């Protein structure tokens, strides 16, 4: 956007080792990020083909504020999800957005399958196709270390890579970004693997003159000051998102032991407070964010031979602790770290890993599967089995782990146990058993994530006392607006700062003239386009089943009733059809 009245799209063909840059003025109305990625998906998706077919695209995009405004730190990734078979959307921060901005591209579209393991260097000159045979099979950390040594650009580059899980096509493999952040959800790692793509290094060294320093500095400073000088973002810096463990536990919303309970007796021992006191070593920021929410702790354990200690640094957040802690009954900081260490190294999605292992534990207890499938005993509270099982997920030794690696929607079709498989819309759940709005929001959200529309937040505010219409309205409006934030690819923690007014002002200061109303309209249009893609990829609101477990274990808003849920779903479907003007 700084080089003319168009967006620059970098097209990469892995099959033929070629690339081209296209100037696209027509994409401008969709802002950037998920907006333009949705448009590019409509143009590029291979509708009738498997998610892991070489013809499927991977699309990355940033927005007009990326790298130049505080908290506009994420890159949006869009692809056909190997986990759900439909819409795949994921976000990562750290240095990703800044590097892509200063490499000079608004979006990247990657197609084809490289003839041999390859990694890409993307910089201002274009794309370099590099031999990755020496990296294939390596874990995410070692891959990162080597790429840092092999590729120039210290300080302004970002390194995105997969581990064995992605190489082996695990449907919920992620992409590790700069060690501490991830394109985690919906299986982008497997899509990388299917293309023989081990990693991407983005190096950003361009500079662009500021057009209107006065307006820009004023808008920048206003947002910076709100982020730093008001209490608004403080919680993300202090205990961090992990403070949710105790908060959700208190309200009986913390999914525990595969959601057989919604309170964890050992919550205190794996709380954000305990993680902080026992292990926190430093706090980091995504580049361009003055808040610093990335909590890095040290996992220190005695050397197995008894000589001295080994230590590893790992970033923790609420979701990893929920999925590897309470959900699996792991009740100490070190047990959570021990499993997280394996999940990180192999490149699995942390939430899905916790959820599938929790299901497998219960399925084993119920005799749906036996140790001849799991190859080891899985028991709530015992991390040693889970560590081995996570390794098996990433590199399956048998048919069972291969099936489990396709996600629970697949695995339960074969082994049964759907009633206690914690998936919503085919996606393993995030950690909020707060009530109907979470349940519905996670199921109907475009990417089946708590982040689509934050239903949990509605539940926490209203509990059991709400009007059905108000709940539905909230979910739709929230998702519409989040499509705007995700098009500018602003960190969702900053949603309180980037109000429609503040966002319009920020955009105005860099020459994108919009009103808050325009933005809302664009949000709805993107929402509509996403649904167009989702429908073409086979998703329907009609047969959205919710596992019985959610109705057996009381939520933070009290017990939930399947019929009430169905009513809410029907109302949602009707309202969304009206609003988007399409039959759903």
Partner 1 sequence: MKTLRVKDVDRCIGCYSCMLACARHVFRSHSIVKTAILVRTRGGLQSKWGIEICRGCTEPACAQACPTGALTPRPGGGVIFKKAKCSRCAACVDACIARVIRLDDESYPIICIQCGSCARFCPQEVLAMEEQKNV
DSSP H helices, 431-467, are: 436-444, 455-462
**Rule CB under 8 A: is residue 230 a binding residue for partner 1?**
no
**Rule CB under 8 A: is residue 372 a binding residue for partner 1?**
no
> Which of 330, 555, 344, 323 lies closest to 429 in space, CA to CA?
323
Sheet-wide strand order for 75-80: 18-24, 7-13, 107-111, 58-61, 75-80, 87-92
Q: From the CB of residue 124, how many other CB atoms can be counted at a distance below 10 Å? A: 12
Tell me how far apart the terminal alpha carbons of the chain are, to the nearest angstrom.
35
**Rule CB under 8 A: is residue 98 a binding residue for partner 1?**
yes
Burial zone of 79 (CB within 10 Å; 0-12 exposed, 13-18 middle, 19+ buried): buried
**Rule CB under 8 A: is residue 511 a binding residue for partner 1?**
no
Backbone dihedral angles phi then psi of residue 154, each to the nearest 5 degrees: -50, 130
Q: 3-class SS at 405?
A: coil
Which residue, 254 or 488, is less far from partner 1 as judged by CB?
488
Taking CB under 8 A as the rule, which mask of x and - marks residues 297-336 in contact with partner 1?
A: ----------------x-----------------------
Angle 502-39-517 from CA coordinates, rounded to 5°: 30
**Rule CB under 8 A: is residue 68 a binding residue for partner 1?**
yes
**Rule CB under 8 A: is residue 291 a binding residue for partner 1?**
yes
The residue with tokens 């003159």 is: 209
The residue with tokens 């808040």 is: 291
Instruction: Select from 89, 178, 428, 479 the one that contacts partner 1 (CB under 8 A).
Output: 178
* Strand-pair partners of 127: 122
**Rule CB under 8 A: is residue 554 a binding residue for partner 1?**
no
**Rule CB under 8 A: is residue 285 a binding residue for partner 1?**
yes
Which residue, 212 or 552, is less far from partner 1 as judged by CB?
212
Choices 240-248, 278-286, 329-337, 375-383; region in contact with partner 1 by CB under 8 A: 278-286
- Record the tokens describing residue 301, joined without a space: 């354990």
Contact 81/51 with Cβ under 8 angstroms?
yes
Which residue, 149 or 563, is less far from partner 1 as judged by CB?
149
Sign for the CA dihedral angle at 243, 451, 180, 266 comes to positive
**Rule CB under 8 A: is residue 154 a binding residue for partner 1?**
yes
Measured from the CB of residue 1, what is the shortest distance to partner 1 in angstroms? 10
**Rule CB under 8 A: is residue 571 a binding residue for partner 1?**
no
Q: From the CB of residue 334, how many other CB atoms can be counted at a distance below 10 Å? A: 14
Choices 207-215, 484-492, 518-526, 570-578; region in contact with partner 1 by CB under 8 A: 207-215
Which residue, 218 or 470, is less far from partner 1 as judged by CB?
218
**Rule CB under 8 A: is residue 213 a binding residue for partner 1?**
yes
**Rule CB under 8 A: is residue 176 a binding residue for partner 1?**
no
Choices 94-102, 127-135, 266-274, 521-529; region in contact with partner 1 by CB under 8 A: 94-102
Instruction: Select from 70, 117, 441, 523 the one that contacts partner 1 (CB under 8 A).
Output: 70
Contact 349/184 with Cβ under 8 angstroms?
yes
Instruction: Select from 91, 172, 180, 359 the one that contacts partner 1 (CB under 8 A).
Output: 180
Alpha carbons 129 and 197: distance in angstroms, whole number: 10
Which residue, 242 or 270, is less far from partner 1 as judged by CB?
242
The H or E element containing residue 90 is strand 87-92
Which residues are at the interface with partner 1 (CB under 8 A)? 2, 67-68, 70, 94, 98, 102, 144-145, 148, 154-156, 178-180, 204-210, 213, 216-217, 220, 224, 228, 282-292, 296, 313
């Amino acid at each position: 956007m700084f080089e003319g009245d168009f967006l620059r799209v970098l097209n990469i063909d892995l099959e033929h080792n070629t690339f081209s840059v296209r100037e696209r003025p027509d994409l401008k109305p969709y802002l950037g990020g998920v907006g333009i990625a949705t448009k590019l998906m409509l143009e590029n998706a291979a509708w009738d083909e498997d998610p892991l077919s070489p013809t499927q695209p991977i699309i990355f995009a940033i927005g007009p504020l990326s790298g130049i405004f505080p908290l506009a730190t994420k890159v949006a990734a869009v692809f056909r999800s190997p986990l759900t078979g439909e819409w795949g959307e994921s976000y990562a921060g750290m240095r990703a957005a800044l590097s892509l901005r200063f490499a000079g591209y608004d979006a990247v579209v990657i197609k084809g399958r490289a003839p041999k393991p390859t990694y890409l260097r993307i910089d201002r000159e274009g794309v370099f196709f590099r031999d990755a045979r020496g990296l294939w099979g390596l874990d995410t950390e070692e891959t990162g270390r080597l790429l840092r040594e092999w590729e120039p650009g210290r300080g302004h580059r970002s390194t995105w890579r997969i581990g064995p899980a992605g190489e082996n096509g695990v449907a919920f493999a992620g992409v590790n970004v700069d060690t501490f952040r991830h394109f985690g959800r919906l299986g982008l790692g497997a899509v990388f693997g299917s293309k023989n793509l081990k990693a991407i290094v983005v190096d950003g060294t361009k500079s662009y003159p500021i057009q209107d320093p006065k307006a820009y500095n004023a808008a920048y400073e206003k947002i910076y000051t709100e982020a730093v000088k008001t209490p608004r973002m403080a919680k993300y810096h202090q205990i961090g998102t992990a403070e949710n463990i105790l908060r959700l536990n208190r309200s009986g919303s913390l999914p525990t032991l595969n959601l057989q309970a919604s309170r964890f007796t050992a919550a205190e021992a794996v709380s954000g407070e305990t993680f902080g006191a026992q292990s926190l070593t430093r706090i980091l920021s995504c580049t361009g964010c003055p808040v610093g929410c990335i909590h890095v702790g040290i996992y220190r354990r005695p050397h197995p031979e008894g000589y001295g200690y080994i230590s590893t640094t790992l970033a923790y957040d609420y979701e990893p602790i929920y999925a590897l802690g309470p959900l699996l009954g792991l009740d100490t900081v070190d047990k959570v770290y021990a499993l997280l260490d394996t999940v990180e190294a192999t490149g699995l999605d942390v939430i899905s890993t916790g959820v599938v292992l929790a299901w497998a534990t219960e399925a084993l207890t119920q005799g749906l599967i036996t140790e001849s499938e799991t190859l080891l005993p899985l028991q709530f509270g015992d991390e040693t089995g889970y560590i081995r099982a996570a390794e098996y997920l990433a590199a399956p030794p048998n048919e069972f782990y291969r099936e489990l690696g396709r996600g629970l929607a697949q695995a339960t079709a074969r082994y049964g146990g759907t009633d206690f498989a914690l998936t919503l819309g085919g996606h393993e759940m995030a950690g909020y058993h707060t009530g109907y709005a979470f349940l519905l929001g996670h199921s109907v959200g475009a990417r089946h994530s708590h982040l689509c529309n934050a239903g949990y937040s509605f539940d926490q505010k209203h509990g059991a006392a709400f009007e059905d219409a108000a709940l539905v309205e909230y979910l739709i409006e929230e998702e519409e607006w989040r499509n705007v934030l995700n098009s500018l690819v602003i960190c969702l923690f900053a949603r309180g700062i980037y109000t429609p007014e503040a966002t319009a002002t920020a955009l105005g200061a860099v020459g994108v003239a919009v009103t808050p109303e325009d933005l809302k309209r664009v949000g709805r249009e993107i929402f509509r386009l996403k649904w167009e893609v989702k429908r073409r990829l086979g998703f329907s609101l009609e047969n959205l089943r919710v596992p019985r477990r959610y109705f057996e274990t009381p939520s933070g808003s009290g017990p939930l009733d399947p019929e009430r849920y169905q009513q809410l779903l029907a109302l949602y479907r009707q309202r969304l059809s009206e609003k988007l003007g399409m039959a759903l």
